[in-house]
Structure 1
Amino acid sequence: MTAQPNRLRIALVCNTAWAIYTYRRGVLRMLTERGAEVTIIAPRDRTFEPLVAMGCRCVELPVASKGTDPREDLKTLAALYREYRATSPHVVFHYTIKPNIYGSIAAWLARVPSIAVTTGLGYVFIQKSRTAMVAKRLYRFAFRFPREVWFLNRDDREAFARQDLLAHPDRARLLHGEGVDLDEYAFEPLPERESFVFILIGRLLWDKGVAEFVEAARRVGATHPNARFQLLGPVGVDNPSAISRTEVDAWERDNVIEYLGEAHDVRPHIANADCVVLPSYREGVPRTLMEASAMGRPIVATDVPGCREVVEDGVTGLLCEAKSADSLAHQLDRMLTFDARQRAEMGVQGRAKVAREFDEKAVVERYKGTIRAITGVSL
């Protein structure tokens, strides 16, 4: 495709188009409404169609998220290089590990300015393995090329600095989450009923603490028969930490959890819940928790980077130890012992915190300022 010379050209690259559509619609709306030519580069999925409907151009990208075969990763790098050479974007934003690494290198080779957005450190900083060690070396090499490297929380930025993964520490920036649309995620009063619904929303990964959630559900459900435990999100995804549908089916047969499948719109599920749970091992700043707090839901989450950015322990929710079903079960049990007034107050405080700290409008302004600084074009 030949680029249109008079339009601002912005590309966003991720290992899933779903993540761009789900987490960055506010940025996409701003760019398309102001006449920018927006290209989404990611593996094809069901969100290509709604992205095109928004006015974006979608380009399919080969990314082996689970694999460590360097030949497959070189295909990703080569595909991005060809795309950048053909369309000459004014700025490229890279998200997630492989686009961050190979996209940053491809953009430098094509002489295209880029921004790397570390949306969470994931298995690279959770596991101690040869793959993780190689990934850190690649980060150290690739992150000498972007104009800026954005981190969603201070812990991640400090982890990169502490392990000497930033060739240019002065280019590190704190984005403090990617924000939530407060109008779209409007406050909803808690349900009034006998049963109590806990829900975990996200990709079904072991690293999200799904095993701990299931074990805690077994224990808490044994003493609180009115408690229900739901999982919402894609199963068997392309990730080293993916949970299979067979495992989910076994939990359902045991009547431990209800699997709700996937949803384009999570708001009805949040509105139906009494508490949103995320026992993750590590996050950037989890969108699920921002959305849940915006809608007035108390939260139980792990005391780890990302989650503790959103949850104020004892005020907007409860924090538990990571990788501990005991600690999680204890906090779920505590949530059940609170009265309706206490849980409602947590929801009100959560909405106020998101409005103060995670309003999507501030994130959109950051993108506008960065694009203006690099291109000289005001949006």
Structure 2
Amino acid sequence: MNFRAKDNALHVALVCNTAWAIYTYRRGLLRALTQSGARVSIIAPRDRTFEPLQQMGCECIDLPVASKGTNPLHDLRTLLALFKHYRALKPDVVFHYTIKPNIYGSVAAWLARVPSVAVTTGLGYVFIQKSRAAQVAKRLYRFAFRFPREVWFLNRDDETAFREENLLAHPERARLLHGEGVDLEDFAVTPLPERNEFAFVLIGRLLWDKGVGEYVEAARQLRARYPQARFKLLGPVGVDNPSAITREEVAAWEREGMIEYLGETADVRPYIADADCVVLPSYREGVPRTLMEASAMGRPIVATDVPGCREVVADGENGLLCEARDAASLTAALSRMLDMEPIARAAMAQRGRKKIEKEFDERVVVQRYRDLIQGIAGSTF
């Protein structure tokens, strides 16, 4: 549905370092907004999802963001661009996602006198690494997060980290969102495959921080013992991130016969349906969409015992947890999954669906947005 919102309609802006993330993770929110007649502005670097976002009724604006750069001039350019957009658009409220929009967008919104909300979608390298850049990022967070009306965290570990590091000028503005939810109708249960082979799949941006290296090493260890096992990767390669894996590195694993690279897709559902188990050995997450979607479709999951992942995986109930940065621990968990009786895996998958229905229904998340917008703008969608 493509239409022009009325001039006096509620106007909401969403800002992120990729339009792809807004389209992939917040489609339910966008549908609720546009179908109610609200005006929605997406401000993000231009990518292939601009067209489907525009088809949904959103206005898309290109934004310069150097996601993996630390050049202050580039970041100043991002801040100034956002300030100009906010002055011109005058949205009723703007939501910022990911580190640079959270930091520079929060400052720009305050300068433009536009109410803003910061959504910390996962702390990434800031809390994984001990580098100078990470320390600078923490100082910037401490400064910028005095400006948003609220700061939303997707998991309790991230909120605790911000409080303990004294990064919140107004701790009373912190809110726990508990993930951004999943559409239970879009991600309906599908039966586990009945076949001789057993397919694992890791879905996400191909980053070292996602545990891709440990996954490949686990494949090396397991292929000899379990010839029926297949190890697949699905997601964009060579992305703009300090932890990015190159296409050449993936090609080397393919030549070695360890993994099958499936490319990237706008619709992960057929790939989840074709998997026996979904794996995410990440070093840290917000609340990983991949695991929520896999559980919703009735797939057992294996993930690391880290912030974000342990929000979705109840060890032994709907999946298995292993240690982060530990290929041997991941290998042991995948071996347990391979050795498990099919009826036990099916029961695990069933419990996963029930957990998602109870804790991660997207409709609950959309209602949180409604309530907040009502409080800020005096009207809602």
Question: Normalising TM by the smaller chain, what interval?
Answer: over 0.9
| 1:333 and 2:335 matched | yes
Structure 1 runs of 4+ aligned residues shifted over 2 Å read none
TM-score, scaled to structure 1: 0.99
Equivalent in 212, 215, 237 of residue 217 of structure 2: 215
Listed as ranges, the matches of 1:168-317 within 5 Å are 168-317=170-319
TM-score, scaled to structure 2: 0.98
Equivalent in 31, 34, 50 of residue 33 of structure 2: 31
How far off its partner does 1:222 sit?
1.5
Q: Could you give the per-residue CA deviations for residues 106-137 of structure 1, whole angstroms, max 9, x where no partner exists?
A: 00000000000000000000000000000000
SS at match of 2:224: helix
SS at match of 2:324: coil
Q: For residue 166 of structure 2, what is the aligned residue in structure 1?
A: 164
2-side partners of 1:154 and 1:190: how far apart?
A: 32
How far off its partner does 1:150 sit?
0.1
Q: For residue 52 of structure 2, what is the aligned residue in structure 1?
A: 50
How many residue pairs end up in the alignment? Answer: 377
Structure 1 gaps of 5+ residues are none
SS at match of 1:223: coil
2-side partners of 1:280 and 1:148: how far apart?
A: 27
Q: Could you give the per-residue CA deviations for residues 158-180 of structure 1, whole angstroms, max 9, x where no partner exists?
A: 00000000000000000000000
- Aligned 8 A contact 2:10 2:380 in 1: no
Equivalent in 357, 366, 369 of residue 368 of structure 2: 366
1-side partners of 2:35 and 2:7: how far apart?
A: 18
2-side partners of 1:5 and 1:348: how far apart?
A: 47
2-side partners of 1:347 and 1:234: how far apart?
A: 27
Amino-acid identity (%) = 73
2-side partners of 1:7 and 1:273: how far apart?
A: 44
2-side partners of 1:220 and 1:371: how far apart?
A: 50
Equivalent in 21, 24, 39 of residue 22 of structure 1: 24
1-side partners of 2:56 and 2:341: how far apart?
A: 44
2-side partners of 1:4 and 1:31: how far apart?
A: 13
Q: For residue 109 of structure 1, what is the aligned residue in structure 2?
A: 111
1-side partners of 2:48 and 2:257: how far apart?
A: 30
How far off its partner does 1:365 sit?
0.2
How far off its partner does 1:4 sit?
6.4
Listed as ranges, the matches of 1:46-125 within 5 Å are 46-125=48-127
SS at match of 2:237: coil
Structure 2 gaps of 5+ residues are none
SS at match of 1:11: strand
How far off its partner does 1:286 sit?
0.1
Measured on the aligned residues, the alpha-carbon RMSD in Å equals 0.8
How far off its partner does 1:210 sit?
0.2
How far off its partner does 1:5 sit?
4.3
How far off its partner does 1:378 sit?
3.0
